[in-house]
Amino acid sequence: MRKTPHSILLISVTMATIIFLAVNGAVRTEYEQKPHIQEEFAEQDYQALYDFYIAATPNLAGRPYYGDPDAPITLILYTDFTSAGAQAFADDILPGLLSEFVHTGKAKLYHKHHLTTDDYQQKTPTYYYAQSLSCYHEQQPATYYEFLFALFNTTLHDLPELVGSHGADRQALMQCIREQTFKNIKEDLGEVQQFGMVGITPRLYVGMRQRGYQSIDGVPVYDQVRRKIRDYQVRLGD
């Protein structure tokens, strides 16, 4: 297949990154701290690697979203379900975002897992929440976000009851949580490391049509988020 100038540039930049990492003896560390990278190197997914290392752009390929698919504004929320900041964002910011922008078709929302290498290796509660969401999405993709929003007010002890109340197979989902691994979780923890989010939760990215993102860290005043979104709407002529 004939390569375009764009694809040649992507390959060149990516290969330069690989050489840099190899020369500096950093490839093994990259694989340990960002486990999805090894798979993308093997699959020669140059666009994903370029977005990760060069553009610092969250990868949304294959990710479920909440809202109108044609909404011009993209919101990406990296959050866990165990920190005080995540709970405060869910209580104080998220309802306004949904009612003012998502439910009105002005924006669509993507959730990404906020977890670290330690969470992944030590199987912390943050890891198990991420596993539960990924497993639930396999069983009940149509109600993924309904389950996600309910998860903010659910302890791990009460998780089986929540799963059952949403129509999923409890036994199958709990087995999935214990045994299955997911590329999306590995990818998200890699982005948390690479994009400087360790110790910062949540982080909200605001962009237009999945590009040109600006980030807001922690739990801001709601008007700050509204102004950021309105800036993009003005640029879009809304």
What structural domains and CATH numbers belong to the chain? 5-55 (no CATH), 65-235 (3.40.30.10)
For residues 129 and 80, the answer to whether their CB atoms sit within 8 Å is yes
- pLDDT in the model for residue 27: 42
What are the pLDDT tens digits along the chain (238 aa)? 455 655 555 555 555 555 454 545 444 444 455 555 455 545 545 555 545 554 567 989 889 999 999 999 999 999 999 999 999 999 999 999 999 999 999 999 999 999 999 999 999 999 999 999 999 999 999 999 999 999 999 999 999 999 989 989 999 999 999 999 898 999 999 899 888 899 999 999 999 876 778 999 999 999 999 999 999 888 887 7
- pLDDT in the model for residue 167: 87
* Size of the chain in residues: 238
For residues 107 and 73, the answer to whether their CB atoms sit within 8 Å is yes
- pLDDT in the model for residue 4: 61
- pLDDT in the model for residue 222: 95
Structure tokens at 117: 């290498």
pLDDT tens per residue, range 128-186: 999 999 999 999 999 999 999 999 999 999 999 999 899 899 999 999 999 998 989 99
